[in-house]
Structure 1
């Protein structure tokens, strides 16, 4: 009788211990992931289309852009210095839970300043209260030392298949990653971005890559 009571007590204790775990929400997407075994730059999948926008300049222009975005949202690569200057836009991005990633500077800057990436990451995390899963340099040049830093931090280097600044729409290709600039030199009009969005069915970068064989660019030596 005593053994049965002890056994029942143990079962109840184990059940109560697992209740909080059962109540936790599950996620089909890990918070941090690594798509390649070795440091490399992801530039294309094999199916679908994904849209990314590099934002490092502008206030009213970006505000107009954000107002017109609808699901499926493009992946916004955000310059942390730009985000620091416009907290109201940062708040809007956070409030709408728009997909974001970290936009760096030119690749060569990370060779001359090995601490640059960590500084940008810290600012990004303070502003958005999250660690980016994706990183891109403005010129899409990724020195080996930078790729190694990203790999250690479990952040993916994402390039693009097409860089589009307006005008004639690019011909659709399977697995394409299209980049649109919003920087000091180029800002694509919201109407042009809407024209691009209407030209094909876009999906998230994660869907583009997780459902396909990832294509990468060789690591610079």
Structure 2
């Protein structure tokens, strides 16, 4: 009988050890997954969208510059891309009402990129609210209606940002594929960064003057991605509630 209990005790220790190792392994994998997608949420509160389940969303950030946005718009028209989402800062929209009008005329969606392109994680909630609302006022003056999406200017945000956006009726949109075009790594590198995208991905591109190689990369990007799904606006992608979010507790 003593032998039986001794064997069982050893067996129980082995099982316990396996359980502990498995737990910490799972925790490590889970944490790594979260860190690879920089999107925040709360258990019962607002969350940021980084992916959908239908189509592919090309999104372009425009925070500053006078030279790159128009050629990119012309290239998209030439490539017959009929759906895309442009996240525009209010300060840029004020200076380029003609281009804002062209974006709307081409049927592209406009999202809010704040006004002054500030880092929201360095700001108090009331200042975040003021920046978003200032941009929204600009869009209203330019007759841009129903702006329901927000992309945080620098890509850095926290739970307070999500709460402010939610209180204003805005959905925060991140991305699942980063082209890194603003670093100007060469058109081949930009294409390589994007061509792994698949159905449901939200792709980050830029039409600010810092992105000097985006226009040249677009034909190959569009050619490759057309075979993987239709291009859709972010709003169309998430319209049926099938968008994916990430949870930080």
Query: TM-score category by the smaller chain?
Result: 0.7 to 0.9
Q: Mark the CA change 1:38 to 1:187 in structure 2 (over 3 Å): closer, same or farther.
A: farther
The answer on 1:207 being equivalent to 2:236 is: yes
Q: Deviations over 1:73-94 (max 9, x none)?
A: 2111111101111222123223
CA contact (8 A) 1:161 1:176 kept: yes
The CA deviation at 1:146 is 2.0
Higher percent of residues as strand: 1
In the aligned structure 1, how far is the partner of 2:142 from the partner of 2:160?
26
Unaligned runs of 5+ in 2: 1-43, 182-189
The CA deviation at 1:110 is 4.0
Q: Which residue matches 2:124?
A: 111
Q: Which residue matches 1:22?
A: none
The CA deviation at 1:167 is 4.4
Give the SS at the match of 1:168. helix
In the aligned structure 1, how far is the partner of 2:199 from the partner of 2:104?
31
Q: Mark the CA change 1:94 to 1:167 in structure 2 (over 3 Å): closer, same or farther.
A: closer
Q: Which residue matches 1:148?
A: 163
Q: Which residue matches 1:43?
A: 50
Q: Which residue matches 1:27?
A: none
Tell me how large the CA RMSD over aligned residues is.
2.5
Q: Which residue matches 2:151?
A: 136
Q: Deviations over 1:33-76 (max 9, x none)?
A: xxxx7311000113432110111223232111111223432111
Q: Which residue matches 2:142?
A: 127
The CA deviation at 1:212 is 6.4
Q: How many residues align?
A: 185
Unaligned runs of 5+ in 1: 1-36
Q: Mark the CA change 1:87 to 1:212 in structure 2 (over 3 Å): closer, same or farther.
A: closer
CA contact (8 A) 1:94 1:128 kept: no
The answer on 1:174 being equivalent to 2:199 is: yes
In the aligned structure 2, how far is the partner of 1:121 from the partner of 1:191?
31
Structure exhibiting the larger radius of gyration computed from Cα positions: 2
Task: Give the TM-score normalised by the residue count of structure 1.
Answer: 0.72
The CA deviation at 1:169 is 4.2
Higher percent of residues as helix: 2
The CA deviation at 1:155 is 1.1
CA contact (8 A) 1:181 1:187 kept: no
